[in-house]
Amino acid sequence: MKKFLILTMAFSLFGCAEMQQVMNQFPQTDGTGLLNISGGLKEALNNGISKQVTKLTATDGFYKNEAVKILLPEELRKVDAGLRSIGLSSLADEGLRVLNRAAEEAVKEATPIFVDAVTNMSFADARGILMGNESAATSYLQNSTSTALYGKFNPVIKNSFTKVGADKVWTNIITKYNSIPLVNKVNPDLTDYVTNQALNGVFKMVAVEEKNIRTNLSSRTSVLLQRVFALQDKKM
């Protein structure tokens, strides 16, 4: 009777043909007779965080990575051009560099937030993510955690601005730019901007690892990853 109830539940979730594949071909289970799909997806996301996001915490992790480098917002491009026009190119360069330094510094402190967020993935979400596109797990993480992560990440960025000296550099930049005759004065919220850009960079790097695991067999570095993502392979 117990086995019958388990199989009934499994077939309702996956469909007869798919569930039979799982039961027959993937003997490693989560203790209920079902393949631990959510566990495999969590492992994939944790790999993305540990292998890829940590790269962002190194010096130039953002600044010299063209995929995630934080560029100036449109409002500040005229500031950059204005400074260079009056011979302050080195100050303009420093302004861009310290924005990226703040993001690099912040990710060091914020990584545990992302690790904790992965645990919120439910079994019900797992199958759709597994059978989704090459960044479905990353998109799930982004959609389900971005608001909460922003609230935690923003003060970290603000503190990082002070730690790396970005606040002083940009106070100097804005003061000098606003003193140029006839320019429209600016007062950008750089903390908000860098927070959003840093979050985008983190999710981009998680997506890199997810794609590796989905498309490259050698990136499936555990038995669980191999068995869970083999199911994904069969849909293709």
Identify the burial level of 1 via C-beta atoms within 10 angstroms of its C-beta, where 0-12 means exposed, 13-18 middle and 19 or more buried. exposed
- Measured between alpha carbons, how far is 99 from 80 in angstroms, rounded to an integer? 13
Q: Give dist(CA 236, CA 234) in Å, integer.
A: 5
Distance, in Å, from the CA atom of 3 to the CA atom of 6, rounded to the nearest integer, reads 5
d(CA 72, CA 70): 7
Give the relative orientation of helices 37-47 and 190-215 as an angle to the nearest 10 degrees: 120
CA neighbor of 105 nearest in space, from 197, 198, 192? 198
- Of 101, 96, 112, nearest in space to 53 by CA: 112
Angle subtended by helix axes 89-118 and 37-47, to nearest 10: 160
Rounded to whole angstroms, the Cα distance separating 106 from 61 reads 12
What pTM was computed for the model? 0.77
Cβ-contact 234, 136 below 8 angstroms = no
Which residues lie below 8 Å from residue 100, measured CB to CB, with a gap of 6+?
A: 60, 62, 63, 69, 70
- Which H/E stretch holds residue 184? none
- For the record, the structure tokens of 139 come out as 């998109």
* pLDDT at residue 35 in the model: 64
Per-residue model confidence as pLDDT tens for the chain (236 residues): 433 333 333 333 333 343 334 333 333 444 434 568 888 888 888 888 888 888 999 999 999 999 999 999 888 888 899 889 989 899 999 999 999 999 998 888 777 777 777 777 777 778 788 888 889 988 988 888 888 888 888 998 999 999 999 999 999 999 988 888 888 888 888 999 999 999 999 999 989 999 999 999 999 989 999 998 988 887 65
Considering all CA atoms of the chain, what is the largest pairwise distance in Å, rounded to the nearest integer?
A: 84
Encoded tokens for 122: 């439910």
